[in-house]
Amino acid sequence: MWPYPRILAHRGGGTLAPENTLAGFRAGLQHGYRAVEFDVMLTRDEVPILMHDPQRGRTLPGSGRIAETDWAELRELEAGAWRDPAFAGERICTLEQCLDFCLQQGIWMNVEIKPAAPEHARRTAELTAQAVARRFAGVTGAALPVLSSFSFEALLAAQETAPQLPRGFLVDVIPQDWQQCLAQLQAVALHTNHKHLTPALAASVKDAGVGLFCYTVNDTARAAEIRAWGVDAFCTDRIDLIAADAWAA
């Protein structure tokens, strides 16, 4: 039900490096992580980039919406010093650059499609799925990245654009109609917030024969608890605390 890695570095390098940057992926590698989760968003000129927030201000200086700014401007911005002076000069990267790096380093990917606005969901999904599908042409099975999203419409678009890529439906609280949603998306997994998960909910997902993935688990005791409930995998910010192979079979 979950043939993929069991513990993923959240946004590349967890809390140890600037999120959604190649520096983050390098930090993950230094801690033994060859599986990552990251976010993809579109710029105004429709370049898929690694970015979580729809607005500048937290990980990028200045103000303004990502969806209203061209890549030529964003790529010049400082993306590392906010985390630590040691990362000064780090820049954000495109999805294409990220895919190349991960393929070169043998890093498995969970690609979260993050539309900057609901009206961008379909286009973000289409361009993200196309880029991933090009890089993984001819690849099958567990080597394929999983595309995930909180946007049902984005996953439908990804399904139409690149049906060969596996999909995971992201929810904060598991809704009553989760089985119908997964069936319509032909999703391989349900991704959910571990804080709202219960043993009964976990059992119902596993009984349905799909993978169960949790975000974002930063405590070893909690990781052990949800594993006992049948959770297949999770992402973490604490790549310095939780070993990448802690859930090795």
- Identify the active-site residue in 10, 120, 191, 194: 10
Residue 31's alpha-carbon distances to 9, 105, 155, in angstroms, are 10, 14, 31
What element of type H or E holds 183?
helix 178-185
Q: Are 162 and 192 in contact (CB under 8 A)?
A: no
- How far does CA 21 lie from the centroid of its chain? 13
Q: How many Å is the maximal CA-CA distance in the chain?
A: 49
Residue with tokens 């984005």, as numbered in its chain: 154
E strand spans, the chain: 7-10, 35-42, 48-50, 108-113, 146-149, 167-171, 189-193, 211-215, 233-236
Look at residue 27 and give its three-state secondary structure.
helix
- Is residue 52 among the annotated active site residues? yes
- Is residue 191 among the annotated active site residues? no
Residue with tokens 């070993």, as numbered in its chain: 243
> Distance between terminal CA atoms of the chain?
14
- How far does CA 30 lie from the centroid of its chain? 19
Q: Which residues are catalytic?
A: 10, 52
